[in-house]
Amino acid sequence: MTITYRDAIRQALIEEMDRDENVFLIGEDIGRYQGTFRVTQNLYEKYGARRVVDTPITEPGIVGVAMGAALRGLRPVVEMMTMSFSILAMDQIINHVAKMHYMSGGQFHVPMVIRGPGGAAHQLSAQHSHSMEGWFAHVPGLKVVAPSTPADAYGLLKTAIRDDSPVIFTENPSLYAVKGEVPSGVDYADATLPPGSGDESASSDDFTVPFGKAAIRKEGTDISLIGYSRMAHVCMDAAEELENEGVSAEVVDVRSLSPLDSSTIFASVKKTNRAVVIYEDWRFGGFGAEIAAKIQENCFDFLDAPVGRVGGLNVPMPYARNLELLCIPSKDDLLAKAREVLG
Amino acid sequence: MEAAQAGAVERKQITPSKEKKEHALATRSGSKRRQEAARRKPGNSLMEPAETLRDYHRLMVRIRVFEGLSMRAFRSGLAGGYLHVYNGMEGTAVGWLSCVREGDPIIAAYRDHGYALILGMDPVDVMAEIMGRARGVSRGKGGSMHLYSAEHSFYGGWAIVGGHTAMGVGLAFATKYRGGDEVTHLFFGDGAANAGVLYESMNMASLWDLPVVFILENNEIAMGTRLEYHAADTHMHNRAEGFNIEHERIDGMNVLHVRKDALRIIDHVRKTQRPYFVEIMSFRFEGHGAADHDRSLYRSKEEEKEAGKRDPILLLEQYMLETGVMIEGDIKVVWKDVEQEMERAYKEAADMPKPEPHEVYENVYTDILPEEGH
């Protein structure tokens, strides 16, 4: 079926809630108000206040309460109205959620998902435009995914909800309206996406996307463009333009930041001998730096040029639209860097 | 500390309606003298059998002796990091936890050795954790502040002041979600009672009718800052008022009083499936942590001497002697027995192997290993 990224997330929530009574949704304005970005639209009517829990505006409390519920076997899916607000809950997420399994010597596990839009949208300015995925990927104990397509949003969310470790599921506000084919039921139409999560409890006709698997969105031979979430689309746009110039670019959609599918990234770079990593977060110290460092450590002898890196400008997100657009990495920024790397 | 409380009450304008909900003892007894007498004498209004009194006594002695050895482990270098002992507060945990039902979730902060022992965790495993051994309750990954036991529904063992309070409410959320009748027992200190997340948690607990008891163990020192210097209203239970949560202050130095109040409160919460806030007044005999060497920075020797007269173990011993439940010789035997038991546990733990290096990567995730190497 062809549906939007937003509907794909909702579809995954519905199917998982129907499959497992322990799955419930909790967050700000997700029920009666239908969700700030309408991801949870109509779910309150369908499941009621018990399983679609409207909360006060209190992120640390929400995460902590969800964690306590998870410790007793429930599987909460927390909506962060925007991932920028997860900063309020950092102590809960990092000091509590991420560490309990380890600190308890494996006695307790925390099966919960924290999902919501991350990254810049349209003039939301400095406090609502954070890309948080790199911050979370830095933390041992958290798994972090950032889907770019409706199919991945659907398949990765199902995997996230079934995972016994805590998962940060970061969406992108500019992708909610993007449409795409989502395999559901028995339909495995999209062969570029590896089906099956290996979850024994899932039925055989269940489409999920496993963690730790990058996707090659476009094959190429001259340069690897590596990104995730919204930047995977920027990679595709740039690759198309490079194609017109006679350059064959390969696009690697990282999808899963933690665990990271290093081997797919390395294989691509060893084939093309050139790489540019792009990420929306601040360029300085961001997740793309980790990918670039890994490529340098592992593919040094295969590189014909230094690894290129494109990231957001190192400033708080400005409000003025022209300045905002300047901050968000664009196709042109990527093309410029790619041409530099191509020499 | 009594003076500190009294002074704070005088300084603060408390409305009559709030005053009514102050210390239960104050409403029961007409005068300060009688109140003091009630504090000193445990009383046995529940008519507990002699054997039960002896059990509470032994439990408290076990904690006191164990904590002595914890500090020895710290001083001798067998235990590292932060380590906080429970001396003086035994009456609170023994009295309260004697009333919980199997399966009731329990969660606490970092001064957690006492709960672990009362709940039946093996002192060898607890001491092994404090010493960072592979057989420790948390496999040497948690340490003194992070004891856990899934078997005993003990959810830790948390060391960010106030941080675990939302989790405690979440444990109760699961009870309601499933339609059970377990009561969650959420312990925290007067330091944590100033943390913002506690108030977010209290709001949700009341808003959603969750069966959780907020148990504020008020030893009147937040690390090294006295109650009157950290709390705008030193009767901290009053803060529950704004969340429409029933609240009261009780005395924590008499194990039998704590038990009597706990039975009543827990029963009430189980029936009403509503939160409750209880402030238990207690006294921390030792410093904040094992490295807190100078208690004179926040209290006088006289205060400590006065508090020593209300030592929960001493009070129960006096009561048992007066009522003939025990004679001096019996008490000595208990202490000796427990000292021998705990010395054995200490030695056994000290002789245990440390975790293997490869274990450093285990339990980060439930199903995968993190990236390896430096």
Give me the number of domains chain B comprises. 1
Give Cβ neighbours of residue B10 (< 8 Å, ≥ 6 apart).
Answer: none
Q: Which two tokens stand for residue A275?
A: 């790489």
Which helix (H) or strand (E) is B322 found in, with range? helix B312-322
Query: Distance (Å, rounded) from C-alpha A330 to C-alpha A43?
Result: 35
Residue B360 lies in a domain: no
Instruction: Report the gap between the CA of B267 and the closest CA in chain A (Å).
Output: 22
Reported confidence tier of residue B81, pLDDT bands at 50, 70, 90: confident
**In degrees rounded to 5, what are phi and psi of residue A260?**
-100, 135
List the single residue in A69, A106, A143 with the smallest CB-CB distance to B363.
A106
In a domain, B329, yes or no: yes
Cα–Cα dist B141/A69, whole Å: 23
Q: What is the pLDDT of residue A204?
A: 45
CB contact under 8 A, B201 and A64: yes
With CB atoms and an 8 Å threshold, state whether A140 touches B363: no
A264 and A213 in contact (C-beta within 8 Å)? yes
Q: Is residue B67 within 8 Å of residue B87, measured between CB atoms?
A: yes
Question: What Rg, from alpha-carbon coordinates, does chain A have?
Answer: 20
Which of A91, A102, A212 comes nearest B163 by C-beta? A91
pLDDT: which is higher, A97 or A202: A97
Residue B192 maps to a domain: yes
Which residue from A65, A109, A259 is facing B169, i.e. has the nearest CB?
A65
Task: Please state whether beta strands A275-282 and A256-258 pair in parallel, antiparallel, or not at all (unpaired).
Answer: unpaired
Comparing CB atoms, the residue among A96, A102, A164 nearest residue B167 is: A96
- Chain B residues in contact with A112 by the CB 8 A cut-off are none
Mean pLDDT of A161-172: 98
Q: What does each C-alpha distance from A268 to A217, A223, A275, A338, A339 come to in angstroms? A: 12, 9, 9, 15, 18
pLDDT tens digits, B131-178: 999 999 999 999 999 999 999 999 999 999 999 999 999 999 999 999
Residue of B nearest to A24 (CA): B177
What are B240-282's pLDDT values in tens digits? Answer: 999 999 999 999 999 999 999 999 999 999 999 999 999 999 9
Between CA A161 and CA A11 the distance in angstroms is: 13
**Is residue B366 included in any domain, yes or no?**
no
Choose the mutation target among B177, B356, B374 for the interface with A, i.e. most A CBs under 10 Å. Answer: B177
In contact, B63 and B311? CB cutoff 8 Å:
no
HEC string for A52-72: EEECCCCHHHHHHHHHHHHHC
Query: Tens digit of pLDDT for each residue in B1-13?
Result: 333 443 333 333 3
- Decide if B167 and A71 are in contact by the 8 Å CB cutoff: yes
pLDDT band, residue B292 (cuts 50/70/90): confident
Which residues on chain A are in Cβ contact (under 8 Å) with B140?
105
Q: What is the DSSP string of B123-184?
A: HHHHHHHHTT-TTSTTTTSS-TT---BTTTTEEEE--STTTTHHHHHHHHHHHHHHT----E
B364 contacts A103? CB cut-off 8 A: no
* Structural domain contains residue B195: yes
Strands B221-222 and B225-226: antiparallel
Asked if A68 and B169 count as a contact pair (C-beta separation under 8 A), the reply is yes
Tokens for B307? Answer: 């508090």
* Measured CA distances, A324 to A125, A281, A321, A328 (Å): 8, 13, 5, 7
Binary contact (B170, A66; C-beta < 8 A):
yes
Question: A with B: how many residue pairs have Cβ under 8 Å apart?
Answer: 146
pLDDT for A196 equals 40
Token digits of residue A29:
């304005």
- What is the CB neighbour count within 10 angstroms for residue A5? 26
According to DSSP, residue B242 is labeled G
Which residues partner with A276 through β-bridges?
A: A225, A308
Best of A55, A65, A290 to mutate (most B CBs within 10 Å, chain B): A65
Q: For residue B150, what is the domain's CATH number?
A: 3.40.50.970
Gap from A298 CA to chain B (nearest CA, Å): 14
| B311 found inside a domain | yes
Instruction: Tally Cβ neighbours within 10 Å of residue A45.
Output: 11
Contact A102 B364 (CB under 8 A): yes
Q: Cβ contacts (< 8 Å) between B169 and chain A: which residues? A: 61, 64-65, 68
Q: Which residues pair with A216 in a beta bridge?
A: A252
pLDDT digits (tens, 9 = 90+) for A90-108: 999 999 999 999 999 999 9
In angstroms, how far is CA B38 from the centroid of its own chain? 22
Contact of A61 with A27, CB cutoff 8 Å? no
Contact A24 B139 (CB under 8 A): no
| Pairwise CB contact (< 8 Å): B141 & A109 | no
Residue B2 phi, psi (nearest 5) = -60, -45
Nearest C-alpha neighbor of B168 from the set B80, B228, B105, B110: B105
Cβ-based contacts of A68 with chain B (< 8 Å): 107, 155, 166-174
Name chain A contacts of B366, Cβ cutoff 8 Å: 101, 109, 163-165
Please give the single-letter amino acid code of residue A128. Answer: H
In chain A, whose CA is at the least distance from the CA of B361?
Answer: A102
Q: pLDDT confidence of B39, banded at 50, 70, 90? A: low
CA closest to B147 among chain A residues: A104
pLDDT attached to residue B153: 98
**Rounded percentage of chain B residues whose pLDDT exceeds 90:** 84
Query: Catalytic amino acids of A?
Result: 59, 128
Compute φ and ψ for A280, nearest 5 degrees. -80, -25
Cα distances from A40 to residues A29, A178, A185, in angstroms, run 9, 17, 21
- Does residue A168 register a pLDDT over 80? yes
pLDDT of residue B47: 85
Question: What is the Cα–Cα distance from A311 to A285, expressed in whole angstroms?
Answer: 10
Q: If DSSP states are collapsed to H, E and C, what string results for chain A?
A: CEEEHHHHHHHHHHHHHHHCCCEEEEECCCCCCCCCCCCCCCHHHHHCCCCEEECCCCHHHHHHHHHHHHHCCCEEEEECCCHHHHHHHHHHHHHHHCCHHHHCCCCCCCCCEEEEECCCCCCCCCCCCCCCHHHHHCCCCCEEECCCCHHHHHHHHHHHHHCCCCEEEEECHHHCCCEEECCCCCCCCCCCCCCCCCCCCCCCCCCCCCCCCCEEEECCCCEEEEECCHHHHHHHHHHHHHHHCCCCEEEEECCEEECCCHHHHHHHHHHHCCEEEEEEEECCCCHHHHHHHHHHHHHHHHCCCCCEEEEECCCCCCCCHHHHHHHCCCHHHHHHHHHHHHC
Whether residue A265 is predicted with pLDDT greater than 90 in this model: the reply is yes
pLDDT at B202: 98
DSSP code, position B355: P
User: Is residue B182 included in any domain, yes or no?
Assistant: yes
pLDDT category at B43 given cuts 50, 70, 90 is confident
Largest distance between two CA atoms of chain B: 68
**In A, which residues are within 8 Å of B165 by CB distance?**
64
If you average pLDDT over residues A17-35, what whole number do you get? 97
Domains of chain A: 2-181 (3.40.50.970), 215-342 (3.40.50.920)
Around Cβ B89, how many Cβ atoms within 10 Å? 25
In a domain, B128, yes or no: yes
Question: What is the span of the domain harbouring residue B260?
Answer: 64-292+299-348
Question: Per the CB < 8 Å rule, is B150 touching A64?
Answer: no
* SS3 of residue B276 by DSSP: strand
Mutate to test the interface with A, among B125, B185, B366 (most CBs of A within 10 A): B366
- In chain A, % of residues over pLDDT 90: 93
Contacts of A293 in chain B (CB under 8 A): none
Q: Which residues of A touch B174 (CB under 8 A)?
A: 68-69, 71-74
> Is A104–B138 a contact, with Cβ atoms under 8 angstroms apart?
yes
Which residue from B140, B148, B174 is facing A108, i.e. has the nearest CB? B148
Assess whether pLDDT exceeds 70 at residue B26: no
Task: Report CB contact under 8 Å: B169, A61.
Answer: yes
What are the tens digits of pLDDT across the range A206-220? 899 999 999 999 999
Give, in degrees to the nearest 5, the angle at Cα B166 between B165 and B168: 65
pLDDT number for residue B36: 54
Q: Residue B75 carries which DSSP code? A: H
Nearest chain A residue to B156 by CA distance is: A104
Strands B221-222 and B212-218 come out as unpaired
